[in-house]
Homo-oligomer: A and B are copies of this chain.
Amino acid sequence: MLRTQFEEDLKNLHEQFYKMGREVSIAINNSVKAFIDHDKELALEVIEHDADINNYEVSLEKKSFEMIALQQPVTTDLRTLVTVLKASSDLERMGDHAVSIAKSTIRVKGSKRVLEIEEDIEQMAGMVTEMVDDVLDAYVITDEKKAKDVAKSDTAVNQQFSSIYKKCIDAMKENPETVVVGADYLQVAGYLERIGDYVTNICEWIVYLKTGKISELNSNRTEEI
């Protein structure tokens, strides 16, 4: 059977979305690596590279818009395009947060470090990028069950944030020399926590794609700490 032009366009759109997501995953990984290693060059790379991620979003928006306008899809096909329109914003903001983490790296100037907390942040980043990679896989095959599982793993990310938060407060109370770096740790962990929230949003979009229902997978997304 021949693919229609629309199916072909849709396939391309999915691939573009997936590629954008992969770029975002790499950006998050690199930004945290740069932060932990005090690697300003890598941090600058993340910042410069963000333009590419933004271009992906603009291009996805344009393409979805064109497809809606020219081919006037309905039901499932329209739903797919709306999902791309909405979920690409989530990816773009995840990229913005990677940039923010990279900027923290550039700001930190040989402050006193707390290695234990840095290890926790590294671990948290691993959890978050795994979520990003998993949600992309779930997206590509519209796997509703996997999307729900990914959303569930956000709970562990939130717990990790709480644990880092407590350690930062303790360190800063005990030793004023750790205040600057502690505030940075809190910020970076906060960015990672929000990236987890964005992944959860995308999980919700996958459920929507499959079922047509807009649902909230984690009602307590903006976690208490």
Q: Does A99 contact B (CB under 8 A)?
A: yes
* Complex: A221 Cα to B78 Cα, angstroms: 31
Contacts of A221 in B (CB 8 A): 96
- Would you call A145 an interface residue if the criterion is a C-beta within 8 Å of the partner chain's C-beta atoms? no
Interface size class of A (residues with CB under 8 A): 35 or more
Tally of this chain's copies: 2
Contacts of A96 in B (CB 8 A): 221-222
User: Does A225 reach chain B (CB closer than 8 Å)?
Assistant: yes
Question: Which of A22-30, A33-41, A81-89 lies at the binding interface?
Answer: A81-89
Offer 16 A-B interface pairs, CB within 8 angstroms, sorted by A.
A61-B82, A69-B75, A72-B72, A85-B85, A86-B89, A96-B221, A99-B222, A103-B225, A107-B225, A169-B179, A169-B180, A172-B172, A172-B179, A174-B176, A183-B186, A186-B187
